[in-house]
Amino acid sequence: MNKRTMLKTAFLAASFLTVSACSTTGGAYKDTSAVKAPSSDIVDTAVAAGSFNTLVAAVKAAGLVDTLKGEGPFTVFAPTDDAFAALPAGTVESLLEPANKAQLQAILTYHVIPGKVMAADIAGKTMSVDTVNGKAINVDASDGVMINDATVTTADVAASNGVIHVIDKVLLP
């Protein structure tokens, strides 16, 4: 495709998006294109949800708050408080100790992939995906969505710098 054709295609796509972002009301167009993207980043979104207190505490203890508040985009597979509570007794407390910061960072970065991946992007697919940790996770979206042996219970929680998918287990590298 040459440069001129690419520009025409981009212009047509932009025109289509502008027209689709409008709705008819009383014979006049109401522009709905000003719908705002989420204003909260991944960390603030997790805090506001109220079911990720352990995850947020772990992110703070691991020194990853600034990273997850950064530009991104990131896709985070976020274990709930119940998922952390299901770990063997004493595991969370041990991981939160300063001496185990590197291990905690390795576990948390195993829950993050670079880029913004929505559920529709992977529907019906199975794949292996590299995490920020450097190790791969297995994604199976052929019937629901599984990340290794964890189930995605809520998908596509939008944040200003990415997306959160809620999972029911803590992923261990």
- DSSP for the chain, please give it: --HHHHHHHHHHHHHHHHHHTEEEETTEEEE-TTPPPP-S-HHHHHHHHSS-HHHHHHHHHTT-HHHHTSS--EEEEEE-HHHHHTSPTTHHHHHTSGGGHHHHHHHHHTTEEES---HHHHTT-EEEEE-TTSSEEEEE-SSS-EETTEEEEEEEEEETTEEEEEESS----
Asked if residue 147 and residue 99 are part of one domain, the reply reads yes
The CATH number covering residue 70 comes to: 2.30.180.10
Asked if residue 140 and residue 56 are part of one domain, the reply reads yes
Residue 173 lies in a domain: no
Asked if residue 46 and residue 31 are part of one domain, the reply reads no
- Express each pLDDT in 10-45 by its tens digit: 332 332 222 333 333 344 433 333 444 567 999 999
- Express each pLDDT in 106-140 by its tens digit: 999 999 999 999 999 999 999 999 999 999 999 99
As for how many domains the chain has, the answer is: 2
Asked if residue 50 and residue 29 are part of one domain, the reply reads no
Bridge-based pairing state of the strands 162-167 and 74-79: parallel
Residue 65 has pLDDT above 80, yes or no: yes
Asked if residue 59 and residue 23 are part of one domain, the reply reads no
Asked if residue 139 and residue 54 are part of one domain, the reply reads yes
Residue 84 lies in a domain: yes
HEC per residue, 83-128: HHHCCCCCHHHHHCCHHHHHHHHHHHHCCEEECCCCHHHHCCCEEE
Asked if residue 79 and residue 109 are part of one domain, the reply reads yes
Asked if residue 154 and residue 124 are part of one domain, the reply reads yes
pLDDT at position 165:
96
Q: What sign for the dihedral angle of Cα 156, 139, 102, 98?
A: positive
Which of 2-11, 62-71, 107-116 has the lowest average pLDDT?
A: 2-11
Residue 110 lies in a domain: yes
Asked if residue 11 and residue 48 are part of one domain, the reply reads no
Asked if residue 149 and residue 70 are part of one domain, the reply reads yes
Asked if residue 12 and residue 59 are part of one domain, the reply reads no
Residue 147 lies in a domain: yes
- Contact present, 132 and 118 (Cβ < 8 Å): no
Full domain range(s) for residue 12: 1-35
- Express each pLDDT in 71-97 by its tens digit: 999 999 999 999 999 999 999 999 999
Residue 116 lies in a domain: yes
pLDDT at position 39:
76
Residue 172 lies in a domain: no
